[in-house]
Amino acid sequence: MGKNNKFTLSLPNNVNGLSEIETLNSLLFIGANGSGKTRLGTWVEFNSPQKEKVHRISAQKSLAMPDSTTPRSIDEAVSDLLFGYPDAINQSSPSSYKHSNRWQRKPANTMLNDFQKLMVYLFSDHTEESAKYLAESRLSNERVAPPTTKLDRVKEVWEKILPHRELVLGGLRIQTKVKNDAASVYNSSEMSDGERVIFYLIGQCLSAPTDGIIVIDEPELHLHKSVQAPLWAEIERQRPDCLFVYLTHDVDFAASFKDAKKVWLKSYDGNTWDWDIVQEIDNLPEELLIEILGSRKPIVFVEGETGSHDTTLYRMLLDDYLVIPRGSCSQVIESTKALRNSQQLHHLSAYGIIDRDRRVDDEIASLEEYGVYTLKVAEVENLFCTEEILAIISERLVRNKEDDFSEIRTFIISRLKSELENQISLRTVSEIKFRLNLFDDKAKGIDGLETALVGLTSSIDVPFIYKQNESLFEQIISTSDYKLLLKIYNRKSLPKQIAQKVGLKNDELPEFVIRMAKSGLVADVKRALKPYFGGFSKYMA
């Protein structure tokens, strides 16, 4: 979408003055619902110093596409389309007619119904250029190159975006057909919403004034995600003279515009807007940053991937938060720190939730200083195996919850016994790694560094740590302490291993818990699991 032009847009700032944004590409405003996007677009159209050059495409628009149309004089056609009044172009201030004629005095919420006017203008331009071509051909003995009209360009772009369809331009109507299938012709009024809106958007942008500012409210509306970015990229290529200003709350759409300068629309109080140019944040990808800016909720970063059972569970339990999966625990920690340390976004509430993963108490306390909280289970999968959740499952399936739990506890303890040395060793390794990370990085010189290393390694008593962990696991086994077991036993497959004990198939347990929550038991599931969220539980409803 790169352009050679340098564009400037004047915007109202929050001290009742004007600020200018400069960009070599398009501008994209991202903001949550209620942040004043449409009102800002209206301000740019009617109050900005550049208002004479602005053409705004509303989110609320009729897609009723006429089957045929009648051209008129080109001046009247363009005036009627841009200003809502055929004679406006002959007046001293054509844009003054927009408010009452084009927008019916309600520019922020009027349903724009101008598809007919767009068709009239495109066919008027087509007719005008064709007439000029015919006249020039008659006066010349040499071949005159036929013109490429705006309608020709609409057809070219439309077919590029929808390669399996073809627009048929004939007389004063437009039809559509499947490419290379003459028998499949259908009228424009029979087009799908997507086909019509693509035609409408291309036509509107090609009809905008030269060197204009094209403001598009909700540019993703009625468009399949697969065509959104390619369509607007192609339209921008057709109008390199124009500044494109997109107003959206769709984070996927915003993230697809890599080259656009992005502006965060924070809020609107009815008179002023609070906005800021989006700055890059280390350790936070732009698409995540945009997702955060497009939401009004506090943020929780979690381990895992989108679509996984644990992420789904987190989102159900933390429905007051924007839950963002970040893959590994290190990415959760980095993202939480990055957001909290950002000067632009430091006022946002941001937290991280990670698995316990053999962490020692000192490490857990250290992470909480950065807003990263550790579950009271070794891995998030263990949440599906807690005594409280198992009781809900047994009751739901009309089983004896005491018998089910007793059998499951005995089974898991026996599994732990079978890999006891491995679990003790892994926990010991984890603690040694943590202590090695405490190396004094302020030490200087060979002697200083060597002294620091010797001091650190001599303080790590491996046999003591191993025996301590061995004692912890033996305590679990001897007392059948199930809560402590889930806290330190790392085995992601536990839900699969115990599913059959409550009458489910191997891989059904997490899915069953989520189904229960969706079917009206979310409060019970939340109440059962809240204690396992450790220090973060105080932020849960």
Structure tokens at 526: 């939340």
Give the pLDDT score at 4.
Answer: 60
Q: How far is CA 342 from CA 86, 334, 338, 440, in A?
A: 52, 12, 6, 27
Asked if residue 519 and residue 394 are part of one domain, the reply reads: yes
Asked if residue 317 and residue 421 are part of one domain, the reply reads: yes
Which residues span the domain enclosing 495? 297-539
**Does residue 167 belong to any structural domain of this protein?**
yes
Give the pLDDT score at 1.
Answer: 41
Asked if residue 140 and residue 257 are part of one domain, the reply reads: yes
Q: CA-CA distance, 102 to 114, in Å (whole number)?
A: 9
Asked if residue 323 and residue 256 are part of one domain, the reply reads: no
Domain boundary, last residue among 244, 277, 310: 277
What's the total number of domains in the chain? 2
CA angle 61/65/71 to nearest 5° reads 110
Asked if residue 306 and residue 183 are part of one domain, the reply reads: no
Give the pLDDT score at 344.
Answer: 80
Give the pLDDT score at 240.
Answer: 95
End-to-end Cα spacing for the chain: 45
**Does residue 31 belong to any structural domain of this protein?**
yes
Asked if residue 513 and residue 377 are part of one domain, the reply reads: yes
CA angle 223/101/129 to nearest 5° reads 70
At position 277, the amino acid (one-letter code) is I
Give the pLDDT score at 343.
Answer: 80
**Does residue 490 belong to any structural domain of this protein?**
yes
Give the pLDDT score at 2.
Answer: 42
Asked if residue 350 and residue 227 are part of one domain, the reply reads: no
Asked if residue 234 and residue 321 are part of one domain, the reply reads: no
**Does residue 283 belong to any structural domain of this protein?**
no
> Helical H runs in 140-224?
150-161, 193-207
**Does residue 90 belong to any structural domain of this protein?**
yes
Asked if residue 233 and residue 339 are part of one domain, the reply reads: no
Q: How far is CA 79 from CA 200, 231, 244, in A?
A: 17, 26, 21
Give the pLDDT score at 351.
Answer: 97
DSSP 8-62: EEEEE-TTSSEEEEEESS-EEEE--TTS-HHHHHHHHHHTSTTGGGEEEE-SSB-
Asked if residue 320 and residue 230 are part of one domain, the reply reads: no
Instruction: List the CATH number of the domain containing 199.
Output: 3.40.50
Q: CA-CA distance, 476 to 353, in Å (whole number)?
A: 25
Asked if residue 225 and residue 323 are part of one domain, the reply reads: no
Contacts 24+ apart (CB under 8 A), 73-78: 73/124, 74/121, 74/124, 74/125, 74/128, 77/117, 77/120, 77/121, 77/124, 77/125, 78/121, 78/124, 78/207
Domain boundary, last residue among 213, 247, 277: 277
Residue carrying the six token digits 């005594």: 387
Confirm if 39 and 271 have CB atoms less than 8 A apart: no
**Does residue 1 belong to any structural domain of this protein?**
no
Domain boundary, last residue among 215, 249, 277: 277
Q: How far is CA 97 from CA 36, 68, 82, 108, in A?
A: 24, 27, 9, 16
Structure tokens at 535: 């220090």
**Does residue 287 belong to any structural domain of this protein?**
no
List the beta bridge partners of residue 423: none
Structure tokens at 461: 């008593």
Asked if residue 248 and residue 153 are part of one domain, the reply reads: yes
**Does residue 507 belong to any structural domain of this protein?**
yes
User: Along the chain (541 residues), what's the average pLDDT of each consecutive run of 10 residues?
Assistant: 73 85 94 90 93 92 88 92 87 81 87 92 91 82 84 96 92 87 87 94 96 96 93 96 95 88 90 88 83 87 91 94 93 93 83 92 92 96 96 94 95 94 93 86 88 89 94 94 94 92 90 91 94 95 83
